[in-house]
Amino acid sequence: MRPSLLRTASQHLRRRRDYSSSAAQPERKVAILGAAGGIGQPLALLMKLNPLVSSLSLYDIAGTPGVAADVSHINTPALVKGFMGDDQLAEALQGADVVIIPAGVPRKPGMTRDDLFKINAGIVKGLCTAIAKHCPNALVNMISNPVNSTVPIAAEVFKKAGTFDEKKLFGVTTLDVVRAKTFYAGKANVPVTGVNVPVVGGHAGITILPLFSQATPASNALSHEDLKALTKRTQDGGTEVVEAKAGKGSATLSMAYAGAVFGDACLKGLNGVPDIVECSFVQSTVTDLPFFASKVRLGRNGVEEVMGLGELSAFEKEGLESLKSELMSSIVKGVMFARES
């Protein structure tokens, strides 16, 4: 091994040792807003199973007492409390380290994510106003769609309140990564557990850009046509579920899984676990767009590093150029909504 590599390896080991020998695990409070919904309920279950969570706060406008009572009977350490309605929101948020937001209405067949805009934009604005007031230092994981607009809305609300920290606001795009990994493993015929695929851009239709040229393990078995089809399936993954559910909502179980993976990564980062990298839609200078999804290194303060795109194939470069105008107009739509409403 080269001396520089040896040095890096030993630094890495030392950091891991520092982490594992550090004092008791910190207390962490996670709040889920929209906890009685299709995503909220399985997400509450998965966060109750997460050993890094010491307090789990379940908030919704209706139905949370039942969900909280149910989940609270599971014999894991997280202390579960349910909160319902506006006047309990402050207590639900107080002291939260991570706030996960799956509140809002889901897509029905024939609806685009942008159709949801009017309803969900107002819900997100209200919830973020409360976050700015009651837990301004929390990491915010935005699930409510359209993420391409709800994240800029949240940023504007926080800026207006004087609490904005770009390191602490995340659009959850993990489901795109989860889908890209699953579809790639199936097509390349490799074990799915070892697969990694970065997904960049945004979180709707063609703004979702999976980088299969960087997928690991690499596969020679896939033709250009295969890669195009995999890209399209990843972009249309949400619609595939909406149509299969035939009027009964959008992805909930796979989304709860993805939300739990991202929430866990945020908690690990906060706790100082090194080398936690996930894709997320964040404030960014990676392209000329003000928000963009790419790999992000998570740390004690949230985003530690927004990572670059790496080498793109010609097909991916084309995809990147053609997503920009749609993504920009969704971002502007969010900013304008927050400023004008």
Ligand X SMILES: NC(=O)c1ccc[n+]([C@@H]2O[C@H](COP(=O)([O-])OP(=O)(O)OC[C@H]3O[C@@H](n4cnc5c(N)ncnc54)[C@H](O)[C@@H]3O)[C@@H](O)[C@H]2O)c1
Paired tokens of 278: 């996930």
Q: Output 280-284 pairs: Cβ under 8 A, ≥24 positions apart.
A: 280/170, 280/171, 280/172, 280/173, 280/174, 281/147, 281/148, 281/151, 281/170, 281/171, 281/172, 281/173, 281/202, 281/203, 282/151, 282/166, 282/169, 282/170, 282/171, 282/306, 283/155, 283/166, 283/169
Residue closer to ligand X (CB basis): 178 or 306: 178
For binding to ligand X (CB under 6 A), which residues are involved? 33-34, 36-40, 60-62, 102-107, 116, 120, 123, 126-127, 143-145, 147, 172, 175, 203, 249-252, 255
Q: How far is the CB of 244 from ligand X (least distance, A)?
A: 13
Cβ 146 to ligand X shortest distance, Å: 8
Q: Which two tokens stand for residue 319?
A: 């995809």
CB nearer ligand X, residue 120 or residue 284: 120
Q: Rounded to the nearest whole angstrom, what is the least distance from the CB of residue 38 to ligand X in the complex?
A: 3
- 60 vs 97 by CB, closer to ligand X: 60
Q: How far is the CB of 238 from ligand X (least distance, A)?
A: 6
Residue type, 162: G
Q: Tell me how far apart the alpha carbons of residues 153 and 158 are, in angstroms, rounded to a whole number.
A: 9
SS3 category, 2: coil
In the complex, the smallest distance separating the C-beta of residue 164 from ligand X, rounded to whole angstroms, is: 21
- Under a CB-based contact definition with an 8 Å cutoff, are residues 126 and 94 in contact? no
The 3 state secondary structure assigned to 19-78 is HHCCCCCCCCEEEEECCCCCCHHHHHHHHHCCCCCCEEEEEECCCHHHHHHHHHCCCCCC
CB nearer ligand X, residue 253 or residue 320: 253
224 counts as catalytic: no
* Measured distance CA(160)–CA(19) in Å, rounded: 37
Best CA proximity match to 173, nearest among 194, 203, 198: 203
Which one of 12, 134, 203, 224 is the catalytic residue? 203
- Six-digit token pair at 193? 């557990």
CB nearer to ligand X: give 67 or 298: 67
Active site residues: 203
